[in-house]
Amino acid sequence: MAGFVDESGLNVRGGDGGAGCVSMLREAHVALGGPDGGDGGKGGDVWLVADRNVASLLAFRDHPHRRAEDGTHGSSRTKHGHRGKDHLVTVPIGTTVRDLYSGEVLADLTNDGDRWLAAAGGRGGRGNARFMSRRNKAPKFAEQGEHGEERWLKLELRLIADVALVGFPNAGKSTLISRISAAKPKIADYPFTTLEPHLGVVRFDDGFEMIVADIPGLIEGASEGRGLGHQFLRHVERARVLLVMLDLAAVDGTSPAEQEKILLHELGAYRPELLDRPRLVIGSKLDMAEDLIDGPMVSAVTGEGVRAVVGELARLVAETRAAEPVGEGFVLHRPEPLGVRVEQESEGFFRVHGRDAERAVALNDLTSSEALAYIDHRLKQLGVDKALRRAGAREGDVILIDDFSFDYEPDE
C-alpha cells in the first residue's frame, strides 16, 4: 500500500543538570575541615523510540513539547544529586526525524524498538570538593549545572493503514470512517483525490491507535484493470486487516452474498495472499436494510453496532501486530562535539564554542578571585588562547563564552 505523509513539529528539551554544592566540612573533632560539596545530578535525556503499537503522530498535534526531568543539586558531605529521569517519546515505526529549520535528516526509526537521542540532558555541576588541589586546598566555588539541550524537530511518517475498508461504491465506507475516527487531524480529513484513500486515526482511551483507510469503491473486473482497478487495489496490499463492507441497501439489488463473492474474487485475483489476510465481514446501512446477513451489521448513521465492530477490529490489529517479526532495535547516537571553535561575531567580538569551554565558565560565583583564576587556567588548558590568536583576536577585544564575557589579554 502506498502511504501518505503525516507530519508534526516536536519540541524536545533535556533536563537541566543540578548545581554543585559549596560546603566546608565542620565537625567538632576535625581541626581543619576541607571542602565537601557534592556534585549535581545529570539532567534526563529525551529519546525517541519506535513503537509498533503507535500508529500516528496525533499525540503531538496539540501537545508538541516534551521535556525530561531535571537533576537535583549536590549537597554537603559530598552527596551527589539524583539524576533526572529520561523521557521516552514513542513514535510510529517508519518515522523520519528532521531538523525543523535546516531540513537535515537526523534519524530514521525503521524498526520496533529503535531509539534516538533527541535532546541530551545537561551535565551536573561539580561541587567544590572536586576543585581541591595542592594550590587551593579550600575552594569556595562550584559549578552550575548545564542546561539541557533544546531543539525543534520535524517528524514525518509515511502511513500504512492497519485496516482497509473494502466495498462497492456507496457502501457507506466514508460515513463509517468519519464516525469512528476519534479525532480530526490533518490525516483524517485530508482532501485526497478520488484515486486515494481517506485516512482516519481511531484512538482508544488506553492510548491504543490504529489507522483506518477508506479505500475507493471496487467494481467487478477491477483486478483486470476495469475502471481504476489497480489504482484502487494497490492501496489494500499492505493493510494488516481487511474490513469487507456489504451494502444491505444496494440500489442495484445486488445481494450481500453476491457482493462478498465479487469482492473476494477481485482481491484474490489481484493478490491471492490477500485472502489469507485477517478480515472481518460486516453488513452496512443497517438503518436502510433490504437484506440481512448472518454476522455483524452496522449503521454508521445511527451508530448501531459500530462499537462492537471497532472493538473487534482493534483486537485483530493488535494480534496481527504482535505476530509480526520483531527486529532488533538499535540506538542511534549523535557524536558529541569535541574541542573548541572560535568565530568572529562582529568587529571586536569573538565567541568561543565548545562544551568544555562553556563548562569552564559555568561557576556559581564569578566575583571570586579564585574562581576567575580557575577559569583562566582551565581555558588555557583547553587551548582557547591559541584558538583566539588563530582567529585574529587582538588585545581589548570582547570574548564571549556562553553568558560569560571578558576582555582579551593575549599571553606574551
Strand, helix or coil at 116?
A: strand
For residue 350, what is its C-alpha cell? 569573538
Q: By the 8 A CB rule, do 78 and 37 touch? A: yes
Encode pLDDT of 142-153 as tens digits.
989 999 999 999
Strand, helix or coil at 307?
A: helix
Instruction: Give the integer Cα–Cα distance in Å for 192 and 1.
Output: 15
Domains of the chain in sequence order = 5-158 (2.70.210.12), 163-323 (3.40.50.300), 341-407 (3.30.300.350)
Instruction: Give the integer Cα–Cα distance in Å for 267 and 222.
Output: 9
pLDDT for 152 equals: 97
Q: Which residue from 122, 115, 112, 85 is spatially nearest to 97, judged by alpha carbons? A: 115
pLDDT for 223 equals: 47
Residue 352: phi and psi, rounded to 5, are: -100, 125
| 216-221 contacts, C-beta under 8 A, 24 or more apart | 216/169, 217/167, 217/168, 217/169, 217/170, 217/171, 217/173, 218/166, 218/167, 218/168, 218/169, 218/263, 218/266, 219/168, 219/169, 220/262, 220/266, 221/266
Q: How far is CA 340 from the centre of its chain?
A: 31
C-beta atoms surrounding 294 within 10 Å: 7
C-beta atoms surrounding 64 within 10 Å: 16
pLDDT at 113 over 70: yes
| Residue, of 197 and 76, whose pLDDT is higher | 76
186 to 31, 42, 61, 146, 297: CA distances (angstroms): 71, 38, 9, 38, 29
347 to 125, 247, 400, 403: CA distances (angstroms): 33, 76, 13, 19
CA atoms within 13 A on the CB side of 45: 11
For residue 68, what is its C-alpha cell? 525530561
Q: Which residue from 208, 209, 267, 216 is spatially nearest to 237, judged by alpha carbons? A: 267
pLDDT for 112 equals: 86
pLDDT for 372 equals: 86
* DSSP, res 273: G
* DSSP, res 35: B
Whole-prediction pTM value? 0.67
* DSSP, res 140: -
217 to 241, 289, 336, 349: CA distances (angstroms): 17, 19, 53, 67
Encode pLDDT of 216-257 as tens digits.
655 555 444 444 444 556 667 778 999 999 999 887 888 999
Mean pLDDT, the chain, integer: 84
Q: Which residue from 190, 183, 188, 150 is spatially nearest to 67, judged by alpha carbons? A: 150
CA atoms within 13 A on the CB side of 103: 0
Residue 70: phi and psi, rounded to 5, are: -75, 155
Encode pLDDT of 78-110 as tens digits.
899 999 999 999 999 889 999 999 999 999 898
Where would I find the H helices in 3-126? none
Residue 153: phi and psi, rounded to 5, are: -120, 160
pLDDT at 286 over 90: yes
